[in-house]
Amino acid sequence: MIPSAFPDRTEIARLSAGMLLEVGAVDFRPDAPFTLASGLPSPTYIDCRRLISYPRVRAALMDFMAVTVMRDAGFEAFDTIAGGETAGIPFAALVAERLALPMTYVRKKPKGYGRNARIEGVMAEGDRVLLVEDLTTDGGSKLSFVDAIRETGASCAHTAVIFSYGIFPEIETTLGAHGVTLHHLCTWWDVMAVARERAAFDSATLEGVEAFLTAPRAWQDARRTD
């Protein structure tokens, strides 16, 4: 069913952040940092994959994503929804259902046999594609998916995520230079605001995380082990 309610951006951000905290998708650990896929340390970790196990939360968030892209990009802006392997696939399916559009997914690399395809499903030349993922840090990981979509002759000028880190200013340059607009529901700053309001973590932990959010590259450089 296509959503027809349009909460304002501030309310969407607040509610989305609260749901991420409620289902345990957020972890703060400034004294024993996580190691990210990039190899860099981080006092924050978010696991949006948990959301698929919470029907009421995932339904609300996917409604928010649908209304966000319709409001920001247009009601008839897309012909196909594509999910990025693997975390983006369930969310792309849910958004496609809400927007009454076909769904495909994009592999990280060709599967190495058969058609050796990166696009699974039907994507036609000229299709206007919305790439859906769970989250983005600095936007770089989206470019390979966008390029794979464009290689089919389709266009991809928009990507939507539940969560954007919101602390790396280069994301606008990275995606903008590639002709891609980012749509997101909330950021670390939204999560921090709700975490403080709910006292979800102790004050020392929140202060440690805020130091990272304010100057993430400097925080990481000071703790690199390579």
State both tokens at 16: 């989305």
Q: What is the mean pLDDT of the chain?
A: 93
* 108 or 53: which leads in pLDDT: 53
Lowest mean pLDDT among 17-21, 115-119, 189-193: 115-119
Q: Which pLDDT tens digit goes with each residue over 79-131?
A: 999 999 999 999 999 999 999 999 999 999 877 665 668 999 999 999 999 99
Share of the chain above pLDDT 70, in %: 96
pTM for the model stands at 0.93
Map residue 215 onto helix, strand or coil. Answer: coil
State the pLDDT at residue 57: 98
Rg (CA), the chain: 18
* 117 or 177: which leads in pLDDT: 177
Whether the pLDDT of residue 169 is over 90: the answer is no
Read off the amino acid at residue 205: T
State the pLDDT at residue 113: 64
State the pLDDT at residue 56: 97
Q: 9-221 is classed in which CATH architecture?
A: 3-Layer(aba) Sandwich (3.40)
E strand or H helix at 129, and its extent? strand 128-136
* 123 or 220: which leads in pLDDT: 123
> Which residue ranges make up each domain of the chain?
9-221
Q: What are phi and psi of 111, to 5 degrees?
A: -75, -10
